[in-house]
Amino acid sequence: MKLDILGSGPQRTSTGTRGETVPTVPSAETAADTVDVTSLLERGRTLATPVLRAAVDRLAPPMDTVAAYHFGWIDAAGNPSDGDGGKAVRPALALLSAEAAGAAPEVGVPGAVAVELVHNFSLLHDDLMDGDEQRRHRDTVWKVHGPAQAILVGDALFALANEILLEIGTVEAGRATRRLTTATRALIDGQAQDISYEHRERVTVEECLEMEGNKTGALLACAVSIGAVLGGADDRTADILEKYGYHLGLAFQAVDDLLGIWGDPDATGKQTWSDLRQRKKSLPVVAALAAGGPASERLGDLLAADAKSSDFDSFSEEEFAARAALIEEAGGREWTAEEARRQHTIAIEALDTVQMPDRVRAQLVALADFVVVRKR
Amino acid sequence: MKLDILGSGPQRTSTGTRGETVPTVPSAETAADTVDVTSLLERGRTLATPVLRAAVDRLAPPMDTVAAYHFGWIDAAGNPSDGDGGKAVRPALALLSAEAAGAAPEVGVPGAVAVELVHNFSLLHDDLMDGDEQRRHRDTVWKVHGPAQAILVGDALFALANEILLEIGTVEAGRATRRLTTATRALIDGQAQDISYEHRERVTVEECLEMEGNKTGALLACAVSIGAVLGGADDRTADILEKYGYHLGLAFQAVDDLLGIWGDPDATGKQTWSDLRQRKKSLPVVAALAAGGPASERLGDLLAADAKSSDFDSFSEEEFAARAALIEEAGGREWTAEEARRQHTIAIEALDTVQMPDRVRAQLVALADFVVVRKR
């Protein structure tokens, strides 16, 4: 049992130290325990990255350079860099997706690349809209190259994603592009909800989950169906794979929300208390506010005052730490850890309703386990 | 001969008064003279607008409202408005495109809507990148609803364009989407060039034409092929229709560049000397700079000084008028008018190499004539 991230219960999470192992999933023993997730992620990266780089090379200057900076292939001065290209969960899923339909993993590569392009289109635009200055331990594109390039290169990556798929020219490629478009629309809906929630005093847990399903669930779902669709899978199979991916995405996001408050900046590449600084109505916050009780009420009063405060931008570490402690005391941290476990379970159970090679099934389970134990 | 926009020669354009009939195409007498262009544009608007509105209604709040404002269907306060929705040249072309392939005009409607969505996606993003505050006589979306909504709703319209086409589910729809994607990539390349040229002291006429081909030619080309492709036309026919559309786009843009300096603000909905205020390296400017001679050199010195001037933003009407007069004296206005005529001719000649009903051919010619005589 390797899963040890979401904590084994309240007694673990009550220490609340930032950067410590966060919250936990005790899940059933499966063949997943023998899967080497690092190799799976590595395979996704190895097969998809050259095709992704070739796609980005199609962009006209200076967009190719700006995109290469965003992906971490060069630094701000234009020198080659082996920067952090992210966890590469989506490419790994897209290749397994092809295999789930009985196709070779290579069949999933254009899907992996298209999903990565859409994911990074959304990062470029979201970082600008949200005013985020850091991503993957480096200054964001709008900080380095200006807002216009962030908009433009984001647009270009979105267009490129469709181009990569449609140039395959098959009926399957058209179906895959349609699924990617649906996921992209959900992604945009989620960002719209995220922005509007930041201006509201209260957001319900249901609204937050819907937003996170749009922002994270939909594209992970597409990553898990796109390879299968390119490999000729029918819509029912693709839909079930998407169900696994969607709930995996919700588990992923619940963990992200925990890391966004209690994550170790050295591991996440974000500022301390990152989500609190941005007034994000993330799951721990909305769950804490919905919980009731003295800590919940004190937190509510504090956040309401913060929303009107002109000093917010100069808050000290201690002021954010105090808010994090109240979120934890009101139960928001444990509720979110439990939600991650719940979504992880739904994701894995969805796989039971579709036929696929045992090895692929074990690998998908192992990836789901990985998603909830990661620290960055 | 109705064409009287591009002036009949230097003696006409030398008055240079803003808002006056700008520059002229004396083209051969054709059946086009009997075509009612107003009705053609009206038909495009009548058939495409309800489908466009239904598509925009799919957007989640507040994006649906922001988009409705952008399209002129509501005002900034949210009240219904019959604002200026643009000239609607592209929808008219998309319906004629279907008819060129022998299909009913209705077959081109999803194509018309998809092209309009992509066009407006690019307007939303470009206005923000360029800092343009006015479009179609109203404040731009980023001015009214903020930069984040301009980015987000632009993204949503782009995604919606693909969705509208791909949900048709046919092989033809996949081909149409691929052509639209190619056009969108060109659009983005053109905007990248446009931005980079604003920071350069000199841009060649060739670079300017390439940029304008990307920014305007490619999507007009797609409007003229997309209906035909949806109607089952082969790639050769679609390519020829795109050639007509591409050169029509270049003619259109040359006229736009004339209107951008000498257009009547009441007709264009833009500020006086709009393109000069934005330091646009538009065709009249680059042609004047390339012409040589005293006026050309004085213009070059002046623009070079302007580029370094900290007072540029507070320049008076007279200062811009002086620059416009130099551009005209150096021959930039007449060269651009001649270029519009040249592109108009190439566009119309392309139609000779493809079979289509005579009525449709005459209508395409009439639309080309309209594009070069418009005042807004």
| Smallest Cα distance from A159 to chain B, Å | 6
pLDDT average, residue stretch A120-146: 94
More confident residue, B375 or B10: B375
pLDDT at A82 over 90: no
| Smallest Cα distance from A181 to chain B, Å | 6
Cα→Cα distances A376→A168, A332, B347, Å: 35, 20, 56
Q: Which of A145, A164, A166, A278 to mutate to test the interface with B (most CBs of B within 10 A)?
A: A166
**pLDDT for the residue numbered B343:** 97
**pLDDT for the residue numbered A4:** 38
At A275, give phi and psi (nearest 5°): -70, -30
Give every CB contact of residue A231 below 8 A, 6+ residues apart in sequence.
Answer: A97, A98, A101, A102, A103, A107, A108, A172
Q: Enumerate the residues of chain A whose CB falls inside 8 A of the CB of residue B163.
A: 178, 181-182, 185
Work out how many CB contacts closer than 8 A connect A with B: 111
Cα→Cα distances A93→A72, A221, B247, Å: 21, 9, 44
- Regarding an ipTM greater than 0.85, the answer is yes
pLDDT average, residue stretch B180-199: 94
Confidence of residue A65 (pLDDT cuts 50, 70, 90): very high
pLDDT at A45 over 90: yes
- By C-alpha distance, the chain B residue nearest A61 is B192
pLDDT average, residue stretch A211-238: 98
pLDDT at A103 over 90: yes
Peptide bond preceding B284: is omega within 30 degrees of 0, i.e. cis? no
pLDDT at B140 over 70: yes
Chain mean pLDDT for chain B: 90
Cα→Cα distances B206→A83, B140, B210, Å: 38, 31, 6
Structure token pair of residue A66: 């700006």
CA angle A362–A363–A368, rounded 5-degree value: 100
Tell me the CB-side half-sphere exposure of residue A342, using CA atoms within 13 A: 8
Give every CB contact of residue A36 below 8 A, 6+ residues apart in sequence.
Answer: none
A336-351 tens-digit pLDDT: 999 999 999 999 999 9
Element housing B138 (H / E): strand B138-139
Rounded Cα–Cα distance for residues B324 and A275 (Å): 51
pLDDT at B180 over 50: yes
Phi-psi region of A125 (alpha: psi -120 to 50; beta: other; left: phi over 0): alpha
Rounded Cα–Cα distance for residues A282 and B241 (Å): 51
Query: Residue B362: how many CB atoms within 10 A of its CB?
Result: 17
The runs of H, that is alpha helices, within chain A are 10-13, 37-57, 63-71, 89-100, 109-130, 141-145, 147-166, 171-198, 205-212, 218-230, 235-262, 265-268, 274-277, 283-291, 294-308, 317-329, 332-350, 358-373
Cα-Cα-Cα-Cα torsion A110, A116, A121, A125, nearest 10 degrees, comes to 170
pLDDT at B278 over 90: no
Percent over 70 (pLDDT), chain B:
90
Structure token pair of residue A345: 């379970």
Rounded Cα–Cα distance for residues B185 and B214 (Å): 9
Of A19-23, B65-69, B363-367, give the lowest mean pLDDT range: A19-23
Check: CB of residue B259 under 8 Å from CB of residue B369.
Answer: no
Structure token pair of residue A169: 């020219």
B308-353 tens-digit pLDDT: 888 898 899 999 999 999 999 999 999 999 999 999 999 999 999 9
Give every CB contact of residue A188 below 8 A, 6+ residues apart in sequence.
Answer: A122, B63, B152, B155, B156, B159
B7-51 tens-digit pLDDT: 543 333 333 444 443 444 444 545 566 789 999 999 999 999 999
pLDDT average, residue stretch A35-58: 96
Q: Enumerate the residues of chain A whose CB falls inside 8 A of the CB of residue B128.
A: 147, 151
pLDDT at A30 over 90: no
Q: Which of A181, A184, A194, A210 to mutate to test the interface with B (most CBs of B within 10 A)?
A: A181
Check: CB of residue A107 under 8 Å from CB of residue A232.
Answer: no
pLDDT at A27 over 50: no
Amino acid A231 reads: G
CA angle A236–A239–A240, rounded 5-degree value: 90
Domains by residue range for chain B, with CATH: 37-372 (1.10.600.10)
**pLDDT for the residue numbered B145:** 96
Q: In a 3-state reduction of DSSP, which class is residue B39?
A: helix
Instruction: Determine whether B61 is exposed, middle or buried from the number of CB atoms within 10 Å of its CB (0-12, 13-18, 19+).
Output: exposed
Check: CB of residue A226 under 8 Å from CB of residue A180.
Answer: yes
| Smallest Cα distance from A132 to chain B, Å | 13
**pLDDT for the residue numbered B34:** 79
Q: Enumerate the residues of chain A whose CB falls inside 8 A of the CB of residue B154.
A: 155
Q: Enumerate the residues of chain A whose CB falls inside 8 A of the CB of residue B125.
A: 151-152, 155
Binding-site residues on chain A for chain B (CB distance < 8 A): 60, 62-63, 121, 125, 128-129, 147-148, 151-152, 154-156, 158-160, 162-163, 166-167, 169, 171, 173-174, 177-178, 181-182, 184-185, 188-189, 191-193, 195-196
* Closest CB from A128, A152, A196 relative to B188: A152
pLDDT at B52 over 50: yes
Overall residue count recorded for chain B in this entry: 376
pLDDT at A281 over 60: yes
**pLDDT for the residue numbered B84:** 61
- Do the Cβ atoms of A162 and B177 come within 8 Å? yes
Chain mean pLDDT for chain A: 90
A163-206 tens-digit pLDDT: 999 999 999 999 999 999 999 999 999 999 999 987 788 899 99
* Closest CB from B62, B128, B166 relative to A181: B166
**pLDDT for the residue numbered A188:** 98
Beta strands at B134-135 and A134-135: parallel, antiparallel or unpaired: unpaired
- By C-alpha distance, the chain A residue nearest B150 is A129
Rounded Cα–Cα distance for residues A286 and A296 (Å): 10
Give me the sign of the Cα torsion angle A177, A182, A186, A192.
positive
**pLDDT for the residue numbered B21:** 37
At A355, give phi and psi (nearest 5°): -80, 135
Structure token pair of residue A96: 């397994």
Structure token pair of residue B342: 């040249």
Question: CA nearest B136: which of B342, B11, B274?
Answer: B274
Which residue's structure tokens are 């289509």?
A: B356
More confident residue, A320 or B7: A320
**pLDDT for the residue numbered A16:** 42
**pLDDT for the residue numbered A25:** 47
Check: CB of residue B122 under 8 Å from CB of residue B253.
Answer: no
Rounded Cα–Cα distance for residues A179 and A221 (Å): 9
More confident residue, B22 or A106: A106
* Closest CB from A171, A182, A184 relative to B171: A171
pLDDT at B237 over 80: yes
Which residue's structure tokens are 């003279």?
A: B33
- Do the Cβ atoms of B155 and A188 come within 8 Å? yes
Tell me the CB-side half-sphere exposure of residue B183, using CA atoms within 13 A: 35
Cα-Cα-Cα-Cα torsion A184, A189, A193, A196, nearest 10 degrees, comes to 110
pLDDT at B231 over 60: yes
pLDDT at B230 over 70: yes
Binding-site residues on chain B for chain A (CB distance < 8 A): 60, 62-63, 121, 125, 128-129, 147-148, 151-152, 154-156, 158-160, 162-163, 166-167, 169, 171, 173-174, 177-178, 181-182, 184-185, 188-189, 191-193, 195-196
Q: Enumerate the residues of chain B whose CB falls inside 8 A of the CB of residue A155.
A: 121, 125, 154-155, 158, 188
State CA A209 to chain mean position distance.
14
